[in-house]
Structure formats: C-alpha cells, structure tokens
C-alpha cells in the first residue's frame, strides 16, 4: 500500500509505474470489481463515460487503493483496514448522521423546523471517512448541507437540533440556522449558503495554519483544513481560484468534492464539460483522486493519505468522492427529475449497510453490538429533540447582539456616547 502512496508517485503521473498487480488490465475502468458499476447512473450515460475513462486513466493511485483492497481481501488471513474500535466509531458516526437527518425530516414536516433544510442521507461515508481522522484543532468548512459535518466534527446533537429549531441554546444561538453551523470549539467554520463560498474560507484557514508555523513561529502548528463542496461548485470560479492559490502556496488543505451527480435538478453531466472532476487537480499541480464515496473504508484510506500529505507540508489534494443523496436537494424539493432506477441502484449501496456487512463478516462486531449502537443513537436523537423543544426562543434583547465583535459600530448617539453603552441597548428598547 505504501508504494502507491509514496510522495513521489502521488502527483501527476498518468499511470502507476511501479504497480505490480495485473488486475488493472482486467477492468476497463480505473476501478476494480466492486466499484465498477457505480460510476454513472443511466445506461446511456454510462457508455459515454466508459469510453472517456478508458482514454484517460489519470488517477493511478485510486487503482492502487481498490486493488490493494482487493488484494487484501483475497489473502487467506486478511489484514483488516480497521480495528474493532475504529469500526464501531465509524458505524456509530454514520448511524448518528442518518438518524439525525431522518429526524430533521420528521420535525420539518411537523413544522418545528423551517426555511431551507438540506439533508445528507446517503453521503455519510464521506463525512465520517474524512472527519473522523481529524484532530480537534483541524478545521472543516462545509456548505448548506452541513448538519452531518457538524455532528462528525463533534458538535453535540443537542446543539445542532436546537439551532435548527431556532432556539437560543443552538450552536449559533439560533442566529445561524440550518445552513450556517459554526463552532469555534470544534473548529467548524460553517455552514455557507453560497456554493463555492466556503472554499476560499477554507483556503484562508489553511493559510493561517501555514502562517502560524512560518511567520509566527508556532512550530508545532500542523493543522489541516478540509473543504467539503459539491459537483455543482466545481464549475464555479472561486473553486479554480483556490485550487490555484492552494497549490501555489502549498497550503495544508484537502478539497473534498461530494459528487452526488445532481445540483438540485441539474445533472452533473449536463452542466460540466468534463465531468471527471478529479482531473482538475493535476491541472493546478496537485493530485486528483477519485474514490467510491459510498464505501467508508475506501474513503478513509484515501483521506488518510491526503490528510497526511497536507500535514507533512506537501500541499493540497483534490479528492472526488462519488456519492449520492437519497433525498431531494432540500426538503422543499419534490425530487422528480431523478430516475428511480438510479435511486434504487444507490440505495442498494447504502454505506451503513455496507459497513455493517463488513464488520459482521470480518467478525469485528456482532449484530447485537450494532443494534445496541442503533438504539443508543435513537435515544441521543430523541433527547436532542426534547432538549430543543424545551429550550427557549431567543429573547428580544438578542436581536442587536453579535453584529460586531466591537459593538461601537452602532455609532455615537445624541448624548455623545457610543450607543452600545446605553444600558437599554441590549434590552432591545434603545433607539438605533
């Protein structure tokens, strides 16, 4: 495994030169057997992409991943990719994400949650696979589909649920909402509604990590930033600007594309001239990797290497995770444009079911242990809902708070003093 991932090979070679396995020649695609069918949804689209992939087998490293996995599985005494504790941690995190999002849907239809709510069902492998490898000081920047990123990063379910209900006990005191989850403590930098907006922010956080190490001389600062965004974002200018600058300045960042093939109702294939997003990495001088985003173990392996690269100071990586969202774009989306066959195809590859199967087949965990985790998570989510229900709404005095860190920005009143010094200011009765 280490050969394929050694730094020298990781960059922009078009074919794995030192790879000894012959399995690459068997499969026409870049990926080996288990992953060969998932790439494109409807049959006609699959054909065109087949030929494209035949012509441009750029990301040799991914071949190595799946082949290594295959090799490992074919040995008589397989060395497993994860330990039991890690497996249970991954399982619990994914089940938390799924149960939480399902509860969000219920709460939305009961009117407890409102506005725009974007659910993450089906994509849990990406969030869990990447974020569970991070330290607390590493940063995560997300989009509006950020509930599960927040949960994986460690924000308590209670805080996220209260925020969604708009209560003052939420992680942003009810001022952010579904699309704007921030947590200083867990280094979750949002939560942005505009696609592509989080990418420069993430690049800035990575910039700070490098600046702290080199200019402020905090020698042990090796914080890594992950930027999560979707396939639609990869056509946006800010994405390219940041690929360029991150590579130019060798910033410790991993750009994670959650390619779920759909941007609301716009298919990725209708919107993009070259749908293979991972190829855009080498154009900017960084490795581009394509991984099966429905398999948490594969995502985790790729994530380990990408995050390791960033931590060692070798620069950014672009990882395209091919995944799928089981629900519509948001709870207001009727989801009529997607082919039911496609949905069924991906539903059969549910990441949680896949991990469950892996754990039980390799005797890492028993059914009862996994069921116990399921039950525990149900209780956590129910508790979160109860907590959110019972929490108070923000008081009127909270309206003017937090506009500025230094509230003198509200100006000088008629008495010549700063308005924020008026005792009535935070009661919400002062005239601004």
Partner 1 sequence: MLGVVRQKMLGQSLPKIRPVVSVLRSYSSAAKQMTVRDSLNSALDEEMSADPKVFLMGEEVGEYQGAYKISKGLLEKYGPERVRDTPITEAGFAGIGVGAAYYGLKPVVEFMTFNFSMQAIDHIINSAAKSNYMSAGQMSVPIVFRGPNGAAAGVGAQHSQCYAAWYASCPGLKVLTPYSSEDARGLLKAAIRDPDPVVFLENELLYGESFPVSDEVLDSSFCLPIGKAKIERVGRDVTITAFSRMVGHALKAAEILEKDGIDAEVINLRSIRPLDRSTINASVRKTNRLVTVEEGFPQHGVGAEICASVVEESFAYLDAPVERIAGADIPMPYAANLERLAVPQVEDIVRAAKRACYRSVPLAAAA
Interacting residue ranges for partner 1, rule: CB under 8 A: 141, 171-176, 180, 182-184, 189-194, 197, 199-209, 211-212, 214-216, 237-238, 241-242, 244-245, 248, 401-406, 408-416, 418
The string of DSSP codes covering 169-234 is TSTTTTSS-TT---BTTTTB----SSTTTHHHHHHHHHHHHHHHHHTS--TT----EEEEEETGGG
Minimum CB distance to partner 1 smaller for 151 or for 242: 242
Minimum CB distance to partner 1 smaller for 207 or for 346: 207
Minimum CB distance to partner 1 smaller for 27 or for 175: 175
Cβ of residue 175: shortest distance to partner 1, in angstroms? 5
Minimum CB distance to partner 1 smaller for 262 or for 284: 284
The string of DSSP codes covering 341-373 is HHHHHHHTT-HHHHHHHHHHHTTSS-HHHHHHH
Cβ of residue 400: shortest distance to partner 1, in angstroms? 10
Cβ of residue 142: shortest distance to partner 1, in angstroms? 13
Cβ of residue 179: shortest distance to partner 1, in angstroms? 9
Minimum CB distance to partner 1 smaller for 265 or for 407: 407
Cβ of residue 189: shortest distance to partner 1, in angstroms? 6
Q: Are the C-beta atoms of 376 and 383 separated by less than 8 Å?
A: no
Report the alpha-carbon distance of residue 166 to residue 171 in Å, rounded: 10
Minimum CB distance to partner 1 smaller for 205 or for 352: 205
Cβ of residue 202: shortest distance to partner 1, in angstroms? 6
Cα 110 to Cα 104, 207, 381: the distances in Å are 10, 43, 16
Report the alpha-carbon distance of residue 244 to residue 418 in Å, rounded: 44
φ/ψ of 320, rounded to 5, equals -100, 115
| Phi-psi map region of 274: left, alpha, beta (phi>0 left; psi -120 to 50 alpha) | beta
Cβ of residue 312: shortest distance to partner 1, in angstroms? 19
**Secondary structure of residue 54 in the 3-state scheme:** helix
φ/ψ of 141, rounded to 5, equals -120, 135
Cβ of residue 103: shortest distance to partner 1, in angstroms? 23
Q: Are the C-beta atoms of 100 and 148 separated by less than 8 Å?
A: yes
Minimum CB distance to partner 1 smaller for 39 or for 188: 188
Minimum CB distance to partner 1 smaller for 30 or for 181: 181
Report the alpha-carbon distance of residue 255 to residue 317 in Å, rounded: 6
Cβ of residue 342: shortest distance to partner 1, in angstroms? 33
Minimum CB distance to partner 1 smaller for 128 or for 225: 225
SS (H, E, C) 239-282: HHHHHHHHHHCCCCEEEEEEECCEECCEEHHHHCCCCCHHHHHH
Torsion sign (Cα): 421, 426, 429, 432: positive
- Beta bridge partners, 227, equal 141, 255
């Amino acid at each position: 495994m280490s050969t394929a991932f050694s730094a020298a090979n990781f960059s922009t070679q078009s074919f794995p030169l030192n790879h000894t396995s012959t399995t690459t020649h068997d499969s026409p695609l870049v990926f080996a057997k288990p992953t060969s069918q998932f790439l494109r949804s409807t049959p006609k689209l699959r054909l065109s992409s087949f030929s494209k992939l035949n012509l441009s087998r750029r990301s040799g490293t991914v071949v190595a991943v799946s082949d290594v996995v295959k090799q490992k599985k074919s040995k008589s005494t397989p060395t497993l990719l994860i330990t039991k504790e890690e497996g249970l941690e991954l399982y619990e995190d994914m089940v938390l994400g799924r149960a939480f999002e399902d509860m969000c849907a219920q709460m939305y239809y009961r009117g407890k949650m409102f506005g725009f709510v974007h659910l993450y069902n089906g994509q849990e492998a990406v969030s869990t696979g990447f974020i569970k490898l991070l330290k607390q000081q590493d940063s995560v920047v997300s989009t509006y589909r950020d509930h599960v990123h927040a949960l994986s990063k460690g924000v308590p379910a209670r805080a996220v649920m209260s925020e969604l209900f708009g209560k003052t006990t939420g992680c942003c005191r009810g001022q952010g909402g579904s699309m704007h989850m921030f947590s200083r403590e867990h280094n979750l930098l949002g939560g942005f509604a505009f696609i592509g907006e989080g990418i420069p922010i993430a690049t800035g956080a990575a910039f700070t990590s490098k600046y702290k190490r080199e200019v402020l001389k905090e020698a042990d600062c090796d914080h890594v930033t992950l930027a999560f965004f979707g396939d639609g974002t990869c056509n946006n200018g800010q994405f390219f600007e940041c690929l360029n600058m991150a590579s130019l300045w060798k910033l410790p960042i991993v750009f994670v594309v959650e390619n779920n093939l759909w941007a609301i109702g716009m298919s990725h294939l209708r919107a993009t001239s070259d749908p293979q997003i991972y190829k855009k990495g080498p154009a900017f001088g960084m490795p581009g990797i394509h991984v099966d985003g429905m398999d948490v173990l594969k995502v985790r392996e790729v994530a380990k290497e990408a995050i390791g690269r960033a931590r060692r100071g070798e620069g950014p990586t672009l990882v395209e995770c091919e995944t799928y969202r089981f629900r519509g774009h948001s709870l207001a989306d009727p989801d009529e444009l997607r082919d039911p066959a496609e949905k069924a195809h991906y539903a059969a590859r549910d990441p949680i079911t896949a991990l469950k199967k892996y754990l039980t087949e390799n005797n890492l965990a028993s059914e009862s242990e996994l069921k116990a985790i399921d039950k525990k998570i149900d209780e956590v989510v129910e508790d979160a809902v109860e907590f959110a229900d019972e929490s108070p709404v923000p008081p009127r005095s909270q309206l003017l708070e937090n506009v500025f860190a230094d509230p003198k920005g509200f100006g000088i009143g008629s008495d010549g003093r700063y308005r924020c010094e008026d005792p009535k200011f935070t009661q919400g009765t002062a005239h601004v």
